Amino acid sequence: MFTEPHRPIDFLRRRGWLEVVCGSMFSGKTEELIRRLTRARIARQRVEIFKPALDTRYHDQNVVSHNQNSIRSTPVQSPSEILLLAGGATDVVGIDEAQFFDESLVDVCRQLADAGTRVIVAGLDMDYLGRPFGPMPALLATAEFVTKVHAVCVCCGELAAYSYRLSASESQVLLGETDAYEARCRPCFLAGPAARPAIEAARAAWAALGLVRR
Ligand SMILES: Nc1ncnc2c1ncn2[C@@H]1O[C@H](COP(=O)(O)OP(=O)(O)O)[C@@H](O)[C@H]1O
Ligand SMILES: Cc1cn([C@H]2C[C@H](O)[C@@H](COP(=O)(O)O)O2)c(=O)[nH]c1=O
Ligand SMILES: [Zn+2]
């Protein structure tokens, strides 16, 4: 095998990098994170998974996707805990809901990758107003690999990149599921409440065709 002669073999074996999976709610970020981490475990790599302690929607410990795939994780209060818990003997670190961490996550991911760890981060790139969310812009800028996944717009069926909030809350952090958010494409996101009649019309049409119950 060809190796660069001036680099020790350990350096080549322990080559780290940062991967980011981003998109709107329901776009498959967590599914994709779980898929990558499961494959790493099949390859007998040592995998650790972290999520912000504040995200207790489906389970206090597991990372759980909207279609109930799940993987064991460690909830942490701050990114520095990830360094303490994953430093050393970990090959792959997975981090879900990265948008909820502060900016220090960027340096923690860099330190892990510099030390030879494959770091896979999943998170919302935009909040409910379409603003870049938390440390995600800096993570996207510094990652070797970026994957943007898309949901299906619940109003029109196009690809959705936005998370439309159904309530009037103006707090950037508001945990929720389909009760609180809809995946929407750009025109339906901009249409706001006016896009709702389109959903009702589509449902009525599907029901008339016998595709769904009224
Ligand atoms: N509007 C939608 N578009 C796509 N998938 C949806 C939608 N609503 C619910 N889902 C479900 O959500 C799953 C993705 O869940 P998940 O990986 O947890 O997404 P994310 O982490 O991006 O919020 C899909 O496989 C599908 O079963
Ligand atoms: C858009 C937006 C979302 N949230 C919350 C809602 C959910 O609890 C998570 C996102 O989970 P997912 O795995 O990506 O579906 O974030 C929020 O707090 N603020 C927002 O603007
Ligand atoms: Zn749409």
| 169 is annotated as contributing to ligand binding | no
Angle at alpha carbon of residue 200, lines to 198 and 203, rounded to 5°: 110
**What single DSSP character describes residue 201?**
H
Residue with tokens 């760890």: 117
What are the boundaries of each domain within the chain? 1-149, 150-214
Among 3.40.718.10, 3.40.50.300, 1.10.1660.10, 2.60.120.200, name the CATH number for the domain at 1-149: 3.40.50.300
The overall pTM is greater than 0.95 = no
| Tokens, residue 46 | 């040592």
| CA-based R_g, the chain, Å | 20
| 25 is annotated as contributing to ligand binding | yes
ipTM of the complex: 0.99
Residue 93, helix vs strand vs coil: strand
CA distance 139 to 7: 28
| Tokens, residue 198 | 């389109």
- pLDDT of the chain, 214 residues: tens digit per residue: 444 445 454 545 569 999 999 999 999 999 999 999 999 999 999 999 999 999 877 777 888 888 888 888 999 999 999 999 997 789 999 999 999 999 999 999 999 999 999 999 999 999 999 999 999 999 999 999 999 999 999 999 999 999 999 999 999 999 999 999 999 999 999 999 999 776 777 778 878 888 765 5
| Tokens, residue 91 | 């090959």
Q: Provide the residues around ligand 3 (an ion) whose CB is within 5 A.
A: 153, 155-156, 158, 185, 188
Return the CATH class of domain 150-214: alpha beta
Beta-bridge partner residues of 49: 94
